């Protein structure tokens, strides 16, 4: 048998040493493919938030009573664990799907041309957040759904939603210095709206951690807060965010900001109002599971909305290719 040529051995060594660089040198995905790949990560991050809520709402949080195995004697769910075990194990398996989606997003971002290190770093941070959330989810199971770790699990999932959204938005813009698209007071108002929305979501975890739907049918400790007090705080922050978003939307119209920015601010306000209606109804009707699930979906929609509004108030153009030099030889020949 003939020995492997040096070129082939060198290519194999290069691929083994840095597979992403090896692939990037030989494949260039279209911008559209990269955008859709990064958007898929955003959608999957939202699905993970909603399915995690479904585990809690069906009292399946301890359906797999241990971690990383589902039970002491089995890596997967067994018939003895019943429906709760199947639900919890299915949610764990979604992490595998998430890893595939994030892995593909990393590959697409790395292979895009020209190479953009800021986008690639954001894509890689998605992977580490998936790992961190999986570990925290395991700790949550091991401490028997301690409400503080449950809240941390959701908040870390929202950080993941943030990073997937930022990666998607960053790829759609360039790398030149940012230029404002709205007056400074409105940009500051948008920044404070982001902060207030983050506090609103954090307060929501306190309302969840002190209320019903503890995530398991057995006795699970709750946060040491009065549930009604947390609901009032959460509702007050919601009113504050609605007022700030309405002021931002009106201000953008008065400042004649770009149409897309005004549309994003309007849509964010509408999502906020819809989320508020769902929250009021669920609190007044005994917190039914279906409405809580809708509210969980609304959390992601609200957060993505405020991040998009804040990002839209500045632009980063792409670098334009330099104009080709004018050939001087014909001119010299004609002189």
Average pLDDT, integer, range 298-308: 96
Reduced DSSP (H G I as helix, E B as strand, rest coil) percent helix, strand, coil of the chain, to 5: 70, 0, 25
Q: Is the pLDDT of residue 207 over 60?
A: yes
Q: Is the pLDDT of residue 86 over 60?
A: yes
pLDDT digits (tens, 9 = 90+) for 311-324: 999 998 877 544 44
Residues paired with residue 179 on neighbouring β-strands, in sequence order: 315
CA–CA separation, 50 and 62 (whole Å): 17
Q: Is the pLDDT of residue 118 over 80?
A: yes
Average pLDDT, integer, range 133-159: 93
In the three-class reduction of DSSP (H, G, I as helix; E, B as strand; rest coil), residue 216 is classed as strand
Q: Which pLDDT band, with edges at 50, 70 and 90, does 12 fall under?
A: low
Residue 15 pLDDT: 59
CA–CA separation, 133 and 154 (whole Å): 9
- Beta strand ranges found along 68-224 (DSSP E): 179-180
Q: Which pLDDT band, with edges at 50, 70 and 90, does 77 fall under?
A: confident
Residue 17 pLDDT: 62
The label of the residue with tokens 């207030």 reads 196
Residue 122 pLDDT: 95
Average pLDDT, integer, range 159-173: 95
Q: Is the pLDDT of residue 3 over 60?
A: no
Residue 16 pLDDT: 58
Q: Is the pLDDT of residue 168 over 60?
A: yes
Residues 6+ apart with CB under 8 A from 215: 55, 56, 59, 60, 61, 62, 145, 150
Rounded to 10°, the helix 147-171/31-57 angle is 170
CA–CA separation, 117 and 29 (whole Å): 16
Peptide bond into 299 cis (omega under 30): no
Residue 318 pLDDT: 77
Residue 13 pLDDT: 59
Contact by Cβ (8 Å): 203, 234: yes
Average pLDDT, integer, range 184-196: 97
Q: Which residue has the higher pLDDT, 13 or 193?
A: 193
Q: Is the pLDDT of residue 5 over 80?
A: no
Lowest mean pLDDT among 24-28, 100-104, 229-233: 24-28
Contact by Cβ (8 Å): 310, 194: yes
Average pLDDT, integer, range 291-297: 92
pLDDT digits (tens, 9 = 90+) for 27-74: 899 999 999 999 999 999 999 999 998 998 998 888 888 988 888 888
Q: Which residue has the higher pLDDT, 333 or 80?
A: 80
| Residue 80 CB coordination number (10 Å) | 9
Q: Is the pLDDT of residue 325 over 60?
A: no
The label of the residue with tokens 């509702």 reads 235
Q: Is the pLDDT of residue 10 over 80?
A: no
Q: Which pLDDT band, with edges at 50, 70 and 90, does 4 fall under?
A: very low
pTM, whole model, 2 decimals? 0.88
Residue 18 pLDDT: 75
In the chain, where the domains are located = 28-175, 179-315
């Amino acid at each position: 048998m003939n020995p492997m040529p040096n070129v082939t051995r060198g290519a194999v060594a290069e691929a083994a040493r840095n597979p992403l660089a090896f692939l990037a040198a030989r494949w260039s995905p279209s911008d559209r493919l990269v955008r859709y790949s990064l958007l898929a990560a955003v959608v999957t991050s939202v699905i993970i938030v909603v399915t995690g809520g479904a585990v809690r709402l069906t009292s399946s949080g301890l359906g797999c009573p241990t971690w990383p195995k589902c039970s002491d004697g089995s890596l997967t769910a067994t018939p003895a664990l019943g429906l709760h075990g199947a639900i919890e194990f299915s949610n764990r398996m979604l992490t595998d799907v998430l890893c595939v989606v994030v892995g593909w997003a990393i590959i697409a971002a790395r292979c895009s041309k020209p190479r953009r290190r800021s986008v690639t770093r954001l894509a890689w941070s998605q992977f580490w957040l998936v790992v961190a959330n999986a570990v925290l989810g395991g700790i949550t199971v091991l401490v028997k759904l301690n409400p503080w770790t449950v809240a941390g699990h959701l908040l870390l999932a929202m950080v993941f939603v943030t990073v997937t959204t930022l990666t998607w938005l960053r790829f759609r813009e360039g790398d030149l210095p940012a230029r404002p698209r709205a007056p400074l007071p409105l940009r500051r108002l948008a920044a404070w709206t982001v902060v207030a929305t983050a506090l609103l979501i954090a307060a929501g975890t306190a309302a969840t951690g002190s209320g019903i739907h503890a995530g398991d049918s057995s006795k699970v400790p709750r946060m040491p807060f009065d549930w009604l007090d947390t609901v009032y705080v959460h509702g007050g922050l919601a009113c504050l965010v609605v007022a700030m978003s309405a002021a931002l939307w009106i201000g953008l119209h008065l400042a004649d900001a770009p149409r897309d920015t005004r549309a994003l601010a309007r849509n964010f306000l509408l999502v906020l109002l819809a989320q508020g209606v769902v929250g009021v109804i669920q609190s007044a009707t005994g917190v039914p599971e279906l409405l809580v699930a809708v509210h969980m979906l609304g959390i992601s929609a609200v957060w993505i909305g405020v991040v998009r509004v804040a990002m839209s108030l500045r632009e980063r153009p792409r670098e334009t290719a330099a104009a080709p030099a004018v050939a001087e030889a014909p001119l010299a020949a004609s002189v």
